[in-house]
Chain A
Amino acid sequence: MKIRFKLNGREIEAEVEPNTLLLNLLREHLHLTGAKYGCGIGECGACTVLLDGEPILSCLTLAVEVDGREITTIEGLARDGELHPLQRAFLEEGAVQCGFCTPGMILTAKALLDENPNPSEEEIREYLKGNLCRCTGYVNIVKAVKRAAEEMAR
């Protein structure tokens, strides 16, 4: 089946099977390996991408279902080589350890800040609870999201 969708700002066309998962389309066919497989059943959030700006799980999304929609992956976040404030804040705050959860975590956080530019700590924690991190205990991640929010408000 042929589908067309916008990927990181670019119109693209892809040939997929009905059972092709969005995650595999991105990673294997479109060579965007930023979205990770961590569980395949919706529990970890490592495969998070933005669908029309909202975080969804690409491991539970049929590729055909994004026909006509817009997808943003972590690779599409930095604009013209300039890091997104969230990416900078994750670096500065030591919010990255092994980094496997990072792409999904940053995308979810982006959706949060787009929707709520000044979230409380509790709102941040609630919003990020679908993204598991085994390394950081989330402390520096929460700090980074706060910091990015402050920077973006400036």
Chain B
Amino acid sequence: MSMWINRIDTHILPINFQYHAPKTLEEALKLLAEYGDEAKILSGGTDLLVKMKQRLIEPRHIISLRNLTELRGIREVEGGIHIGAATKLREIERSQIIAERLPLLHEAVKAIGSIQIRNMGTIGGNLCNASPAADSAVALMALGAELHAQSIEGERIIPIENFFKGPGATALKPVELLTAIRIPPPPENYGWAFRKIGRTSLDIATVNAAVLLTLRGGRIDLCRIALGAVAPTPVRAVRAEEHLRGREPTPELIQEASELVVEDISPITDVRGTAEYRVEASKALVRDALNLSIERAGGGGR
């Protein structure tokens, strides 16, 4: 490890691997079953290739999703909206369905990287990479998404809450593929907001936050708050949510709730920001997001 500096050469991909481009999902699952730990899925490659160049992972087999059209596309299905795991972020950003039905996701996806990154990167990649800062993850958490995983053994559905296990770690088994994301139809007249802070406009989040809520009789009813880059995984601000539920959204209440996010986060200090900064920024983002959501839900807001 001490000679790590000499193992990096970002001109090239200094790793030898076998490349597979299965034509069908079944074929892909078979390859996964065969190689398991030694294989890595290549979707858009914007995380995978960077990590390989940084010599953080050195897979012996690369299984490309490029031919698997069944893993792509966005459609309305019974039980919500279905997004294929290998759908490009750009396609989600451009999708009419998403813009109209899930503007929260639209905005979170638009906040990811650059045009180039979104032309290459996929939503499945954003989730499976399991960065605590992944922008789509907080939005999908607030939306209560379900993730469809498949192996040759069959399919299972993982609520997004249970998907992230730590930086870079997910609930997927090495033989499993994420095939789709399903988002339940959002409630009527809901309010939403996505907020992100980075060092520049092209940056992984220092903190990001997503809110989804509804009002009933002037009181907050359903409420989900998700935060990223402030814990080993994206997290829900459960205490703040509880504090808000059933109450009238006064500025004081919003203030109290945003202070409560500290109960559910455990930020660290890194190059992007200090732990103290992340705490302060989390409060500010959540307050902003709550106010905007309430306004969008038809409440007074601030």
Contact = CB atoms under 8 A, between A and B. Distances in A.
B120 A129 contact: no
B116 A62 contact: no
A55 B117 CA distance: 9
Interface in A19-76: 19-21, 24, 37, 39-43, 45, 48, 51, 54-57, 59-62, 64-65
With a 10 A CB-CB cut-off, give which of A18, A21, A39, A61 has the most chain B CB atoms. A18
Contacts of B13: 19-21, 62
A108 B16 contact: no
B178 interface: no
Interface in B98-156: 113-117, 119-120
B11 A65 contact: no
Contacts of A60: 45-46, 49-50, 120
Contacts of A42: 46, 50, 113, 116-117
Interface stretch (B17-25, B157-165, B232-240, B273-281): B17-25
29 contacts: A18-B17, A19-B16, A19-B17, A20-B13, A21-B12, A24-B11, A24-B12, A39-B10, A42-B46, A42-B113, A42-B116, A45-B116, A51-B119, A54-B119, A60-B45, A61-B45, A61-B49, A62-B19, A62-B45, A62-B49, A65-B45, A65-B66, A108-B115, A108-B116, A126-B201, A129-B115, A129-B202, A130-B116, A131-B114
Grouping DSSP codes into helix (H, G, I), strand (E, B) and loop, the B interface class, with mixed when no group exceeds half, is loop
Contacts, number: 88
A1 interface: yes
Contact of B120 (A19, A40, A61): A61
A129 B50 contact: no
A28 B95 CA distance: 38
Interface in B22-63: 42, 45-46, 49-50, 53-54, 62
Interface of A: 1, 18-21, 24, 37, 39-43, 45, 48, 51, 54-57, 59-62, 64-65, 108, 111-112, 126-127, 129-131
A56 B202 contact: no
Interface of B: 10-19, 21, 42, 45-46, 49-50, 53-54, 62, 64, 66, 90, 113-117, 119-120, 201-202
Contact of B21 (A45, A64, A126, A131): A64
State the 5 A-B residue pairs at the shortest beta-carbon distance, nearest first.
A130-B114, A40-B10, A18-B19, A19-B13, A60-B49
B62 A48 contact: no
A51 B118 CA distance: 13
A43 B113 CA distance: 9
B53 to A, nearest CB: 6
A108 B115 CA distance: 8
* B12, B114, B116, B117, most chain A CB atoms within 10 A: B116
Contacts of B11: 24, 37, 40
A1 B21 CA distance: 12
Given A40-B53, A45-B114, A56 B62 contact: no
